[in-house]
């Protein structure tokens, strides 16, 4: 007599297989003593293949189960979220500033939606980038890292050439790298004006220009620029930052018009005050006074920015272009 497998049996088998693989990977990470980044990278690539295989198997099982047991497998999917119930179809995504506070959650969210994600870091952050990659792998997310100073156009072009050769295409681009150098205009040094404009605005040209021809050729792309509530409403002491972030909005709307009929969308996400380590390190009374001005009554979570980006990055979001999603708890309503 042949064994009858129930839905529960299948789920137990998938869970056991995934747990075993996860345990093996965790053991390998804990017992890894070679600090050479090259070796680490090859290990991560290996683990990535295993991770993709598990995701594919789990998704196939979920699809098969769904056809036998409709409406019962919603909790099985390995990716997808309340924002977009379907997993994406495995595009390649580049996130500049991806190892930063908000960038990390954007990477997490895109990876959980089934995309292959690559995060940029600056050369002096190399050790942190390796550590960051290891932490993501421990969460079950295989995210690659690439060194690039986004203020350097030639470096961006070189990165684009290398990534398109390695991954065939880069379909999702998230311009998230950014800095602040606050002071009133009366006291602002010219170098702080240029540093903020170079990093927050020129970088968007440098990176987008480097990847755009590939997207146009393939007739598909999702470009998401991380602006700020302060680019929309202005902020005392931030003429440089607000100018750069407002500039991103104009860039986005113009490029959206240029690319609208080519399968490429261009949008901004404008965060309000987000509880990254930077904000959380501020004195409590300052954080409290900021929170008292936010209608929702709390700081934003980095994952909430990640979810908004994943929504715009989704294949199903092809009719949204030239838009801004403000994720600011009602701080500014336009």
Q: Are 188 and 180 in contact (CB under 8 A)?
A: no
What is the C-alpha separation between 276 and 104, in angstroms, rounded? Answer: 10
Q: Which strands form 264-271's sheet, in the order they lie side by side?
A: 144-147, 116-121, 92-95, 172-175, 221-226, 264-271, 324-327
CB of 79 to ligand NDP, least distance (A): 23
Nearer to ligand NDP (CB atom), residue 220 or residue 251? 251
What is the C-alpha separation between 192 and 179, in angstroms, rounded? Answer: 10
CB of 121 to ligand NDP, least distance (A): 7
Measured between its terminal Cα atoms, the distance across the chain in Å is 68
Q: In the structure encoding, which two tokens stand for residue 327, read together? A: 């994720």
Nearer to ligand NDP (CB atom), residue 164 or residue 182? 182
Nearer to ligand NDP (CB atom), residue 58 or residue 177? 177
Q: Which of 220, 241, 319, 332 is catalytic?
A: 241
Per DSSP (E only), the strands in the chain are 92-95, 116-121, 144-147, 172-175, 221-226, 264-271, 324-327
Cα 188 off chain centre by = 32
Nearer to ligand NDP (CB atom), residue 256 or residue 274? 274
Residues at the site binding ligand NDP, with contacts judged by CB under 6 A:
96-97, 99-103, 120, 122, 125, 149-151, 176-179, 199, 226, 228, 271, 273-274, 276, 278-279
The CB-nearest residue to ligand NDP is: 100
**153 labelled catalytic:** no
DSSP β-bridge partners for residue 300? 274
Nearer to ligand NDP (CB atom), residue 224 or residue 226? 226
Nearest to 252 by CA among 223, 213, 217, 211: 223
CB of 291 to ligand NDP, least distance (A): 12
CB of 172 to ligand NDP, least distance (A): 16
CB of 104 to ligand NDP, least distance (A): 8
Other Cβ atoms closer than 10 A to 59 = 18
Catalytic residues: 241
């Amino acid at each position: 007599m042949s064994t009858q497998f129930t839905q529960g049996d299948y789920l137990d088998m998938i869970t056991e297989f995934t747990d075993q693989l996860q345990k093996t990977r965790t053991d390998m990470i804990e017992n890894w003593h070679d600090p050479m980044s090259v070796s680490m990278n090859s290990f991560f690539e290996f683990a990535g293949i295993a991770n993709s295989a598990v995701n594919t198997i789990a998704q196939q099982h979920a699809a098969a189960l769904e056809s036998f047991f409709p409406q019962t497998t919603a909790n099985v999917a390995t990716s997808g979220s309340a924002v977009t119930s379907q997993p994406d179809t495995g595009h390649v995504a580049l996130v500049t500033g991806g190892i930063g506070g908000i960038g990390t959650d954007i990477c997490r969210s895109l990876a959980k939606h089934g995309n292959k994600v690559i995060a940029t870091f600056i050369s002096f952050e190399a050790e942190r980038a390796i550590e960051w990659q290891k932490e993501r792998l421990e969460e079950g997310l295989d995210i690659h890292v690439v060194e690039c100073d986004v203020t350097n156009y030639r470096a961006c072009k070189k990165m684009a050439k290398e990534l398109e050769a390695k991954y065939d295409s880069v379909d999702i681009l998230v311009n998230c790298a950014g800095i602040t150098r606050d002071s009133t205009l009366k006291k602002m040094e010219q170098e702080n004006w240029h540093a903020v404009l170079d990093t927050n605005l020129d970088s968007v040209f440098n990176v987008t220009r480097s990847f755009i021809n590939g997207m146009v050729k393939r007739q598909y792309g999702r470009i998401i620029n991380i602006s700020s509530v302060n680019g929309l409403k202005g902020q005392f002491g931030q003429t440089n930052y607000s100018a750069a972030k407002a500039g991103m909005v104009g860039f986005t709307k113009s490029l959206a018009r240029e690319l609208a009929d080519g399968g490429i969308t261009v949008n901004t996400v404008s965060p309000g005050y987000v509880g990254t380590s930077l904000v959380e390190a501020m004195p409590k009374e300052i954080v409290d006074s900021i929170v008292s001005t936010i209608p929702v009554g709390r700081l934003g979570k980095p994952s909430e920015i990640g979810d908004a980006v994943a929504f715009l990055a989704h294949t199903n979001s092809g009719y949204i272009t030239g838009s801004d999603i403000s994720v600011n708890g009602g701080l500014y309503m336009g």
